[in-house]
Amino acid sequence: MVSVAVVSCILPAGEEDAKTGYNSLSPVMISKRKGGFTASAFIFAFTSLENIGFVANMVSMVIYFGQVMLFDLSTSANTLTNLMGSTFLLSLVGGFISDTYLSRLTTCLLFGTIEVLALVLVTVQASSHHLQPNPCGKSNCLKGGTAFMFYISLCMLALGTGGVKGSLTALGGDQFDQKDPKEAKALASFFNWLMLSSTLGATVGVTLIVWVSMNVHWYWGFFISTVAAFVAFLFLASGKPFYRLRAPGDSPIIRIAQVIVVAIKNRKLALPGSADELYEINDKETLISTDEKIAHTNQFRWLDKAAILCEASKRTAAWSVCTVTQVEEVKILVRMLPIVGSTIIMNTCLAQLQTFSVIQGSITNRHLGSIEIPAPSIPVIPLVFMSILLSIYEFVFVPLIRKITHHPSGITQLQRVGVGLVLSAISMAVAGFVEVKRKKQAIRDPTKPISLFWLSFQYGIFGIADMFTLVGLLEFFYKEAPAGMRSLSTSLTWLSLSLGYFLSTVLVDVINAVTKRNGEQGWIYGLDLNKNHLNLFYCFLSILSCLNFLNYLFWAYWYKYKSQLPHSNNHELASSSDKTEDAKEKEACC
């Protein structure tokens, strides 16, 4: 590939910035002037402030839905999981827009405006009894304008928060050049620091805001969340002079569709004998078009037919032939999908800690001396633990393991995810045992419930699991993705979370339906947790997590990182029988 210096001679002044995909003179000069941890500091500050309200609402809204919106147990849990599932699903929208139409910073600020407005609506509804439902004896008492305001505010909150998450991680990753060994190490550290920033903000949220919400008034908690989010976006915007801003490119959805459509059109063609005969733009065109040239691989060979250039017409229109790089982009995304699917169950387990475990905490002994701790504040224990462990992981574990493995992150991203999946299964098993103890004590002597801190075991173990898995997935999807699809690719992490929350809703309904018999309700039904069998549900999730881990091991072993893929441009692609029909079929396609 030609050097940056050569390109600077080819491109007129002022055009190179847009062509290279950054808003400065060149990738070389920008690495000295912009990006790095200086720019990331604004992103870390934003993450901490925005998560103050996001995480606090995530763990406490299930109680708000029950106490203020008068939902029953399962409706409260399902409403929250549906909200969180929609939030993370809509991150795909933010990722798509920031890859295609707007810069990642602009996308964050656009959806941030929607998020702040949604929090304003939630605050207003929480502050007025006229905008809240009256008791009706049903599982859902919302109706009319009250219901409209409630659901429109949640929809806006899901859209705004999801859009921000879909573009923010890639914005942070863009501040580091993976081709520079020093910056590659810094990029690995960036994801750890991003998680630490999120953890610190969440710690403030589950203590300060949750206490205010449950001891002062709900609307004050939402108001503080709104102010924190507003200040967070001011911080993010103020860092613009320091950011490396990648210009949006071609639509990743259209590029994927082109490969699939052309491959289907050319399905009757025989593959050429060498990958060199497949269509690819030259090095000069690759750099100028900002495409990252990707070497050909021998996996999913049927997609290679999209890169067959018909000899009769030599057409190079987008819907007539695709480049090898474009085909390989689709192959990378296809290889990623089983990894996404293998982490859904873990996020279903996470949903339980934000719903049923919070409800568990509300009927335990929540006193620490003379202080009564709100049930949603129990996650502060694993959050503090995670903050300490992240520091140890970054400053002790990674440098030590890096000397052995020579990997910038110490261990690979998929190894990190695997550790998290094992710990999540253990967390659900522990949650089942703790629920058995809580229920026995509640039946034996309702006046002396077990301590809230028994729940810290399941929260603590899962907190460590989340530390490994979430950071591992974000780093994995960012580093493995093609340059023009990194926002959409990192959104796959949030897609896994989304599907996990939606699966939680489905599992609760299915388990209730399957276990309902002889006039008795299912495992999780009604308002009295002591009459339910939540412990069996937790054990079911633990077993499901173990089976899922075996599934993950298969796909993690099958996956090949970009750095491991062979540069096999000269390997044989077609059998001798295919080659005999090659000329005839090329004429037919044109």
Residue that has been written with the tokens 């590659």 in this structure: 184
Quote the CA–CA distance of 48 and 45 in Å, as a whole number: 5
User: 118 CB contacts (<8 Å, ≥6 apart)?
Assistant: 153, 154, 156, 157, 159, 160
State residue 26's pLDDT score.
37
Quote the CA–CA distance of 78 and 66 in Å, as a whole number: 12
Q: Name the DSSP letter for residue 246.
A: P
Mean pLDDT for the chain overall = 80
Percent of the chain residues past pLDDT 70, beyond the cut: 84
Query: Cα separations (Å) of 309 from 270, 278, 586?
Result: 12, 7, 8
The domains found in the chain, sorted by start residue, are 1-29 (no CATH), 34-248+330-514+521-559 (1.20.1250.20), 252-322 (no CATH)
> Structure tokens of 444?
């034996």
Buried b or exposed e, range 177-214, using 16+ CB within 10 angstroms: beeeeebebbbbbbbbbbbbbbbbbbbbbbbbbbbbbb
Burial class (CB in 10 A: 0-12, 13-18, 19+), 125: buried
Higher pLDDT, 368 or 270: 270
Q: Is-above-0.85 flag for pTM?
A: no
Given a cut of 50, whether residue 115 has pLDDT beyond it is yes
* Across 499-524, average pLDDT: 79
> Structure tokens of 235?
């911080």
Pairing, β 371-372 against β 367-368: antiparallel
State residue 162's pLDDT score.
92
Query: Cα separations (Å) of 318 from 262, 309, 315, 437?
Result: 9, 11, 9, 63
* Across 136-143, average pLDDT: 74
Weakest mean pLDDT among 25-34, 295-304, 550-559? 25-34
State residue 389's pLDDT score.
82
pLDDT in tens, 236-254: 999 999 998 888 777 788 8
pLDDT in tens, 555-581: 988 887 765 555 444 444 444 444 444
Model confidence at 488, pLDDT cuts 50, 70, 90, reads confident
State residue 163's pLDDT score.
92
Nearest partner of 378 among 436, 467, 459, judged by Cα: 459
pLDDT in tens, 412-449: 889 889 999 999 999 999 999 998 888 888 888 888 88
* Across 11-16, average pLDDT: 37
Given a cut of 90, whether residue 124 has pLDDT beyond it is yes
Given a cut of 60, whether residue 216 has pLDDT beyond it is yes
Higher pLDDT, 458 or 294: 458
Higher pLDDT, 114 or 580: 114
Quote the CA–CA distance of 376 and 63 in Å, as a whole number: 9
CB 364 within 8 A of CB 455: yes
Model confidence at 554, pLDDT cuts 50, 70, 90, reads very high
pLDDT in tens, 340-386: 899 999 988 888 877 777 778 778 888 777 777 887 787 787 788 78
Model confidence at 526, pLDDT cuts 50, 70, 90, reads low
Q: Name the DSSP letter for residue 412.
A: -
State residue 125's pLDDT score.
92
CB 522 within 8 A of CB 423: no
Given a cut of 80, whether residue 587 has pLDDT beyond it is no
Nearest partner of 332 among 555, 553, 561, judged by Cα: 561
Given a cut of 80, whether residue 180 has pLDDT beyond it is no
Burial class (CB in 10 A: 0-12, 13-18, 19+), 25: middle
Percent of the chain residues past pLDDT 90, beyond the cut: 20
pLDDT in tens, 21-65: 443 333 333 444 678 888 999 999 999 999 998 988 888 888 888
Quote the CA–CA distance of 262 and 268 in Å, as a whole number: 11
Quote the CA–CA distance of 311 and 306 in Å, as a whole number: 14
